[in-house]
Structure 1
């Protein structure tokens, strides 16, 4: 049976969001995309210029099935104050059945050691990402999915390139909590098929070598100057991803 075309909105067509748009439009979904530039691209893509504080065009919101918010949230307090108005506008205008997916960060966890999961209560309540999570979960109960992403890696993005050749890098003993872009895109695509997936999910590859061993190995693989780490006493934290692995049809395929 041919899959019914969905109208999908994406706010934030950056490093992750743009690949999400291309992935979902390839399946003949109708994509409406907000960017900081106004442009029209692709048979199944319509792009609008939008920044937090602007009003979303009616053509963007109308008949929307799923909204992905992948934009980087502002650090500036003045700009952050506009986020509440943005969520309130969504609450007032989004279709009743529209699902909301927000890419947050594992940076919301305040715990410095041990293993943390989605049920962990030791969170940074002052974080703009955590506050955004709570606003969306409150305004759209039962139809909001929060993706707490680990450190992002992909073919054109990896921390080893900035760490290569550096010395005296702190916390060499701490574990890495990383995730490949392709695994994120796979999980996002599954959300279109399984509407029961709601609440918070950590997206982190389930392997956590130490920073020193991992980045040394990656530097060697890329024939880069080796980074030199200092070993401290803080064991660091591991972000657990068992909940995401329980979602039907999903498993982490892209090793770090």
Structure 2
């Protein structure tokens, strides 16, 4: 039985772990919350309390990686509150975590790494984006994600596949709840680039199933209506106050294509209407 270690059993990592267990994998999962350990154990996950820092790792990282063939890294950046801090410590915190983690991966049984990244690495380009597009991050989170991607993919001791997800949505997570009733929202004609939690899990499962390592994938639903059209319809559907958009400035926004997911992985999106 193939063993997989999932570093970060949060909003995506926990249901992913459950799905992988359902298809016959043995899963080790980490959390930074001691209260969550019994939740992981109840789900059939071997639980570990692990916290990454720029200069150290708290918790039993060696047994967490031991005997696993695949490591899935799905940890949040948590840059809020630090974005205006000019210190190099805060600017490189996430990159430091990955740099600290890598020697443990090198000295473990891990052969393949799947790193959960974001389309924020492309910046706010006003164009069509594919995996051939050179990343040009213009936010701190995007810059750190791209540096982390490079650290992992340039390492020759294991193969790394990068999955750049668009905006994450699910039954309990949708941006309309934040935008509902707001006025003067910019970029009404910009396209949306979202992906449902179900498809996030499906794509990761397909990568593992097909042993597609050493690749980079954009993962965004092939459904790109304008922000104004989409959010208005979603607000009506959920009986929420309508958001109001401003057309004072020209709309700017990229369209993320995920053709490679469909052509290379042969994956069919299940939640295209979002």
Aligned residues between the structures: 250
In structure 1, C-alpha distance between the alignment counterparts of 2:42 and 2:254, rounded to whole Å? 43
Q: For 1:112 and 1:57, how far apart are their aligned partners in 2? A: 38
Q: Which residue of 1 is the match for residue 211 of structure 2?
A: 195
Distance 2:26 2:13 in 1: 15
Q: Give the alignment partner of residue 246 of structure 1, picking from 253, 257, 263.
A: 263
SS at the partner of 1:95?
coil
Q: Could you tell me which residue of structure 2 aligns to residue 212 of structure 1?
A: 228
Match of 2:85 in 1: none
Out of 40, 60, 63, the residue aligned to residue 59 of structure 1 is 63
Q: Which residue of 1 aligns with 2:132?
A: 119
Decide whether the 8 Å contact of 2:153 with 2:214 is kept in 1.
no
Please, what TM-score do these two structures have when normalized by structure 2?
0.85
Alignment of 1:168-179 (within 5 A): 168-179=184-195
Q: Is the 8 A contact 2:61 2:104 kept in 1?
A: no
Alignment-derived partner of residue 101 in structure 2: 86
Per-residue deviation, 1:44: 3.7
Gaps of 5+ in 2: 83-88
SS class of match (1:21): helix
Does structure 1 residue 129 correspond to structure 2 residue 148?
A: no
- Normalised by the size of structure 1, how large is the TM-score? 0.91
Give the Å deviation of 1:197.
4.3
Choose from 30, 45, 66 the match for 2:26: 30
Name stretches of at least 5 consecutive residues in structure 1 with no aligned partner: none
Distance, in Å, in 2 between the alignment partners of 1:88 and 1:74 is 23
Judge which range, 122-131 or 147-156, deviates more: 122-131
> 153, 160, 165: which one pairs with 1:149?
165
Q: 1:142 to 1:32 in 2, by over 3 A?
A: closer
Question: Are residues 248 and 130 of structure 1, via their aligned partners in 2, closer, same or farther at CA, if it must alter by over 3 Å?
Answer: closer
How far apart, in 2, do the equivalents of 1:43 and 1:107 lie? Answer: 32
Tell whether the 8 Å contact from 1:7 to 1:65 is kept in structure 2 after alignment: yes
1:95 is matched with 109
SS at match of 1:201: strand
What is the rounded CA distance, in whole Å, between the counterparts of 1:229 and 1:86 in structure 2?
Answer: 44
